[in-house]
Amino acid sequence: MTSLAIIVFLIVAGTVWGGFFIMLGIAIKSEKKNQ
């Protein structure tokens, strides 16, 4: 992949996938706390 494509991949996938896993982490932590 070209370096420009890699940068865009990191930004987009980082935001979308990163956002998902951060939120998932918060949800799991909160569920554990509530148990």
| Residues of the shown chain interacting with another protein in the complex, contacts defined by CB under 8 A | 1-2, 4-6, 8-9, 11-13, 15-17, 19-20, 23-24, 26-27, 30-31, 34
- CB of 14 vs another protein, minimal distance in Å: 10
DSSP structural state of residue 1:
-
d(CA 29, CA 25): 6
4-18-12 Cα angle (round to 5): 30
